[in-house]
A = this chain, B = another copy of it.
Amino acid sequence: MAKNFLDVSPTAIQWLSKGGLRPTRQRVIIAERLIGDGQNRHVTAESLFSVSNKRGDKVSLATVYNTLRAFCSAGLVREITVDGSKSYFDTNVSDHPHFYWEDSADLVDAPSEELKIASLPEVPAGAEISKVDVVIRLRRKSTD
């Protein structure tokens, strides 16, 4: 019975092992929630925590934070900073643009193919690009 939860989600476990992370109960729960349906997700620690709580999964807030950081350094998710107040984590780890709805604080993927950067500023000597963040901030168009 030590393995009870290991059987339910081979995908999540594979995903974890891809990052060299041991499949603990909490990690599998969180991984499941992030990649369970194959769709990209943008979550905050708080949002993940409250969803887990509502579903009765026992994961402490500290563990959600630790786990997200672990996923992040394992390269399984990517942190996006759009709003000074909280961190978003994206299950799509490739370089791609985002839409950010300023009023609802929702972060979603923008179609990557539609962004064409013809030239990028020349990188200073001795530096290399870690990543390029493109955030298109949106507001609802006023109808008056």
Residues of A in contact with B (beta carbons under 8 Å apart): 79, 81-87, 97, 99, 101-102, 110-112, 114-124, 126-141
Question: How far apart are A16's CB and chain B's nearest CB, in angstroms?
Answer: 25
A14 to B79, CA, bound (A): 41
By the criterion CB–CB under 8 Å, are B118 and A116 in contact?
A: yes
By the criterion CB–CB under 8 Å, are A117 and B114 in contact?
A: no
- Chain A interface mostly: strand
By the criterion CB–CB under 8 Å, are B135 and A132 in contact?
A: yes
A121 partner, pick from B111, B123, B128, B137, beta carbons under 8 A: B111
Across-interface contacts of A111 in B (CB, < 8 A): 121-122
By the criterion CB–CB under 8 Å, are A136 and B123 in contact?
A: yes
**Minimum CB distance partner of A143 in chain B:** B126
**Given A97-B121, A133-B135, do A127 and B141 touch, yes or no (CB 8 Å)?**
yes
**Minimum CB distance partner of A123 in chain B:** B138
By the criterion CB–CB under 8 Å, are B121 and A110 in contact?
A: yes
Known: A84-B84, A116-B117. 8 other contacts (CB 8 A): A81-B81, A84-B85, A117-B118, A128-B138, A128-B141, A132-B136, A133-B135, A135-B135
By the criterion CB–CB under 8 Å, are A99 and B124 in contact?
A: yes
